[in-house]
Amino acid sequence: MAANESHVTVQKRLHYAPPWADVSIIGIAGSSGSGKSTLAHAICKKLNLPWVVILSMDSFYNPLTPEQSKKAFNNDFDFDSPEAIDFDVLTQCLRDLKAGKRAEIPVYSFAKHQRLDHSTTIYSPHVLILEGIFALYDQRILDLLDMKIFCEADPDTCLSRRVLRDVRERDRDVEGIMKQWFGFVKPNFEKYVEPQRKVADVIVPRGIENHVAMTMVVQYIERKLLEKSTHHRAALTQLEIDASAEPLSDKVFILDQTPQLRGMNTILQDIDTSAEDFIFYFDRLACLLVEKALNNVRFKEYDAETPAGYKYKGLQAKGEVTAVLVLRGGAAFETALHRLIPDCRTGRILVQSNVRTGEPELHYLKLPSQIEKSEKERRRASYLRIEIIQGLYR
């Protein structure tokens, strides 16, 4: 019992969370046409950092019924009410991103007044800016925000901006825009939007023209990012200390040091080895490693019939083997991988260390479609992840 408790303690202590597992979420609310999107893009530009994502609540409108769709085309549907927003999906997306998971963002078409079949994938932002008229409305979302901003502007300015936006970007006519403004937008602003000022950390009058407020917001975000970076680097240092004191996991396999393996290693290490020989023996060694990994693929019993009509009780792999190449070194294993599994589907991931802070940064991620399926299907599949430590051979 004590041994089991010790093992659990070690596993918890050695847990690692990447920087993007604690994304900073900034919420920007305000009237339609108050400059929320412009402010969000200005903050993004002023931060001048990679991995800053702007998420519009316009993507989270509820799908419309045929009757509601007909009203929408006649400008009689209220898009400025909280009931028009799918807060459940929005909250789940934010929770997934906050936990370092990928999130599928719906795509809403204002031309069709419907949510489209495809979605947009967001993964690993360091800063997420959520902007929308109800960004500070739902308590579940408020609990996830690191900073709450309310954007203010003169009502006439808001109206003129909305007219320009809807005519240019949403192919709307001025008459319909004015009908919605006085029928829904203005009344709902007073009822639902303006009360959000009370929960805001910062109120920004005049949007991007307010340089003092802009500077304050950017400095706050930079300070929060610095705090997280300092904490993360300390956690990395502690993780290295803890890991060095523990034995290798029982899931780490080492090839048997056979004469053949030692001979190939000798050729690879020899400075006089030609490029052709190096490639040939590296591919041979890579094949041995892939074969070793394939021993861990799940199999099920299978009765095969031979051409002569005999029955053979054998094994059949469960699902397909999927490989993820950890770039850049992992790409060197691709030849061996496809030599052994010609139809193997592969993905790629590139994580590099920041030259200034040493923190890992996710630069590229493209996974095979099987990995994106449901959890139930995912458990039936087997995955092969290949990685090579760069600089191992010189």
From 3.30.1360.70, 3.40.50.300, 3.40.50.2020, 1.10.290.10, which CATH number describes the 259-386 domain?
3.40.50.2020
Which amino acid, one-letter code, is at 361? E
**Is-contact 162 181, C-beta < 8 A?**
yes
Domain limits of the chain?
19-230, 259-386
pLDDT digits (tens, 9 = 90+) for 120-137: 888 878 889 999 999 999
Residues 6 or more apart in contact with residue 346 via CB below 8 angstroms: 322, 323, 324, 325, 334, 337, 368
Q: What fold, for 19-230?
A: Rossmann fold (3.40.50)
Can 19-230 and 259-386 be said to share one CATH topology?
yes
Residues 218-266: pLDDT tens digits? 888 888 888 887 887 787 788 778 777 777 777 777 888 899 989 998 9
> What angle separates helix 36-47 from helix 211-244, to the nearest 10 degrees?
50
> For 310-348, what is each residue's pLDDT tens digit?
888 888 887 777 788 888 777 888 888 888 888 888 888
Question: How high is the mean pLDDT of the chain?
Answer: 80
The predicted structure's pLDDT at residue 249? 73
User: Which tens digits make up the pLDDT trace of 13-67?
Assistant: 455 666 666 788 999 998 888 888 888 988 888 888 777 899 999 899 998 888 8
pLDDT (0 to 100) of residue 357: 66
pTM here is 0.70
| pLDDT reading at 168 higher than 70 | yes
Transcribe 119-159 into DSSP letters: EEEE---SEEEEESTTTTT-HHHHTT-SEEEEEE--HHHHH
Please compute the mean of the pLDDT values over residues 164-172 and round it to a whole number.
76
What CA–CA distances, in Å, run from 8 to 2, 21, 23, 241? 10, 22, 27, 18
pLDDT at 17: 63
Tokens of 4: 């089991």
